[in-house]
């Protein structure tokens, strides 16, 4: 241990998986540290009230710590929690959700659901790998970015990818190096379907006939019996991708077994990366939603219909809304593919700009499922009134902080009770927290005037807190300046005392010398 490095006792983990400690009044977020550990650390970012740091040495180890399986862990940015025992990862994420609801939303669930946890390894069926020609490394690198870096980790395997995809990393490096555009192919999109695997190569320049032949041979070499490896090219944006070889491959699909729904999709379209957990997540969300024949249900941020079509299987009428035109088009096709077009309708809309009037224009919904991106659904939920608010809302979230904020809106201003919530371990060995929450309408919404007054009071409280913080910082700066001035004055006094003594002795010695002469 370097004695100059500070030491901290880790108290908890934040929602990104960093160890949290408090040192001399500052919050320190330490990557690689676990609760109950004592670590030395090195800060890479310093702010007035907090610091971000890396663990240098574990001085007292937590019982939660385990040996990472992957040799690239700690360098590769793909995983952040392989050093945490798997069951502890799930418990930590559940605690993150509970703490977020309590501290951000000021709410608590009547019941915490049992966490959903699936396979620990080989779960990732969708990934975006980077590729870069690095001659000093001996060729092309293929993999995820290094932690907090634009550099690509030098990888030979990846344990969160299916084994047969992990086994392609080294052959991909070797194959891309033989292409004429090896320095113009920065990205490979991986999609693992039920009947085939797809690699989408982002080609910045046109592919020559010789390069096409190399890609075809790669497909032939690495296809499995009854399971082709299909090569796609993407010359520009995601909408420009197209299959190169083989052209007679089956469709890319996943199946929601509990609802007899098959979902075709394009390799660049959003789908959940963990199909096994997605299946369980959809089942849990629908059990909470409890759709009934004849009910009118909204599916907000519906994507390609991951929840819409299972809801429709219940006999309910479902209206899906989504901001992407391409995803709406795919959702319509999937409804037709599953012969559910008579039970669903879709609409493209910006759900981040919903108003009370635009939501009311949709008509009354009995229930609503919400599955927003990381930013949450704050504008949509603020638009609810007593006339339009559904009796039940099931909220699927990929960000516990925005779920907690939105839960606070529903419970504290819209008359809902948070009946249940729990996490879904969609991304093992990462700090990513997927969760689901069930809200039931049990009281009235606050009026617009009450909402405005509440928001004004909250804004005033935030400004007061900022002012108080500035006052504390100013007082601390004043005291520090006074202490520094006092130290400087004492130092100057000592210097003057020394100079006076020196002058006295110099004068005395000079006088003595004169008298002796």
Over the stretch 71-120, which tens digit does the pLDDT of each residue have?
999 999 999 999 999 999 999 999 999 999 999 999 999 999 999 998 99
**Do 53 and 27 contact (CB within 8 A), yes or no?**
no
- Between CA 309 and CA 50 the distance in angstroms is 46
- Of residues 419 and 483, the one with the higher pLDDT is 419
Share of the chain above pLDDT 90, in %: 82
Q: What is the mean pLDDT of the segment spanning 329-356?
A: 97
- pLDDT tens digits, one per residue of 236-259: 999 999 999 999 999 999 999 999
User: Above 70 in pLDDT, residue 216?
Assistant: yes
Distance CA 359, CA 388 (A): 8
CA distance 263 to 206: 32
pLDDT of residue 497: 86
Higher-confidence residue of 462 and 5: namely 5
- Give the pairing of strands 416-425 and 434-441: antiparallel
Q: Which residues contact 314 (CB under 8 A, 6 or more apart)?
A: 286, 291, 292, 293
Which ranges of 167-237 does DSSP label H, i.e. alpha helix? 169-177, 209-222
Residues 124-128, mean pLDDT to the nearest whole number:
97
Provide mean pLDDT across the span 156-181.
Answer: 97
Q: What's the average model confidence in pLDDT over 281-287?
A: 98
Buried b / exposed e across 108-129, counting CB within 10 Å, b at 16+?
Answer: ebeeebebbbbebbbbbbbbeb
Question: 1 pLDDT exceeds 70?
Answer: no
Q: What is the pLDDT of residues 33-51, one digit of tens each?
A: 999 999 999 999 999 899 9
**Tokens of residue 322, six digits:** 């989504």
Contact 89, 76 (CB under 8 A): no
Tell me the pLDDT band of 447, cut-offs 50, 70 and 90: confident
**Count of CB atoms situated within 10 Å of the CB of 284:** 20
Could you tell me where the DSSP H helices lie in 110-188? 163-166, 169-177
Max CA-CA distance within the chain? 124
pTM of the model: 0.86
Tokens of 71: 């040799």
pLDDT at site 222:
98
Residues 6+ apart with CB under 8 A from 319: 296, 297, 298, 299, 344, 345, 346, 347, 362, 365
Q: How far apart are CA 15 and CA 60, in angstroms?
A: 23
User: Per-residue pLDDT for 347 more than 90?
Assistant: yes
DSSP 8-state secondary structure symbol assigned to residue 224: B
Banded model confidence at residue 516, pLDDT cuts 50, 70, 90: low
pLDDT band at 484 (very low <50, low <70, confident <90, very high): confident
Q: Which residues have a catalytic role annotated?
A: 398
Place of tokens 């049990």: 442
Structure confidence by residue, pLDDT tens digits, 293-339: 999 999 999 999 999 999 999 999 999 999 999 999 999 999 999 99
Q: Give the residue from 367, 379, 386, 490 showing the smallest Cα distance to 438.
A: 367
Reply yes or no on whether the pLDDT at 272 is more than 90.
yes
Nearest of 443, 314, 326, 310 to residue 371 by alpha carbon: 310
């Amino acid at each position: 241990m370097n004695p100059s490095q500070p030491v901290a006792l880790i108290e908890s983990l934040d929602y990104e998986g960093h160890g949290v400690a408090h040192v001399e009044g500052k919050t320190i977020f330490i990557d690689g540290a676990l609760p109950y550990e004592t670590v030395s650390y090195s800060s890479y970012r310093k702010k007035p009230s907090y610091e971000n740091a890396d663990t240098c040495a574990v001085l007292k180890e937590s019982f939660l710590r385990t040996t990472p399986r992957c040799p690239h862990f700690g360098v590769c940015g793909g995983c952040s929690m392989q050093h945490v025992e798997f069951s502890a990862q799930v418990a930590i994420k559940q605690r993150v959700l509970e703490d977020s609801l309590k501290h951000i939303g000021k709410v608590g669930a009547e019941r915490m659901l049992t966490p959903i946890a699936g396979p620990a390894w080989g779960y990732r069926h969708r990934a975006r790998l980077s590729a870069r020609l690095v001659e000093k490394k001996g060729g092309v690198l293929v993999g995820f970015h290094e932690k907090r870096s634009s550099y690509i980790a030098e990888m030979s395997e990846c344990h969160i990818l299916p084994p047969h995809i992990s086994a392609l990393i080294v052959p991909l490096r070797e194959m891309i190096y033989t292409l004429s555009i090896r320095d113009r192919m920065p990205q490979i999109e991986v999609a693992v379907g039920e009947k085939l695997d797809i690699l989408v190569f982002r080609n910045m320049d046109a592919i020559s006939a010789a390069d096409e032949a190399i890609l075809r041979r790669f497909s032939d070499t690495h296809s499995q019996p009854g399971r082709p490896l299909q090569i796609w090219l993407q010359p520009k944006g995601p909408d420009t991708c197209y299959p190169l070889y083989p052209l007679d491959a089956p469709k890319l699909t996943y199946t929601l077994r509990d609802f007899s729904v098959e979902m075709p999709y394009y390799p660049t379209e959003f789908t959940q990366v963990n199909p096994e957990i997605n299946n369980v997540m959809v089942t849990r969300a629908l059990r909470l939603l409890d759709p009934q024949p004849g009910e009118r249900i909204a599916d907000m941020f519906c994507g390609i219909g991951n929840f819409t079509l299972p809801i429709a299987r219940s006999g309910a009428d479902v209206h899906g809304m989504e901001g992407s035109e391409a995803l709406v088009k795919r959702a319509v096709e999937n409804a037709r593919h599953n012969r559910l077009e008579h039970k669903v309708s879709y609409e493209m809309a910006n759900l981040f700009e919903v108003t009370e009037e635009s939501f009311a224009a949709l008509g009354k919904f009995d229930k609503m499922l919400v599955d927003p991106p990381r930013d949450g659904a704050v504008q949509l939920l603020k638009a609810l009134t007593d006339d339009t608010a559904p009796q039940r809302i099931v909220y699927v979230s990929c960000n516990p902080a925005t779920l907690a904020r939105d839960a606070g809106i529903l419970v504290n201003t819209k008359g809902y009770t948070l009946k249940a919530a729990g996490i879904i371990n969609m991304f093992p060995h990462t700090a990513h927290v997927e969760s689901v929450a069930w809200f039931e309408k049990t009281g009235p919404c606050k009026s617009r005037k009450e909402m405005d007054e509440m928001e004004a009071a909250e804004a005033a409280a935030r400004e007061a807190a900022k002012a108080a913080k500035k006052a504390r910082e100013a007082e601390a700066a004043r005291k520090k300046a006074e202490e520094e001035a006092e130290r400087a004055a004492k130092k100057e006094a000592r210097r003057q005392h020394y100079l006076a003594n020196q002058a006295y002795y110099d004068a005395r010695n000079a006088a003595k010398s004169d008298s002796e002469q």
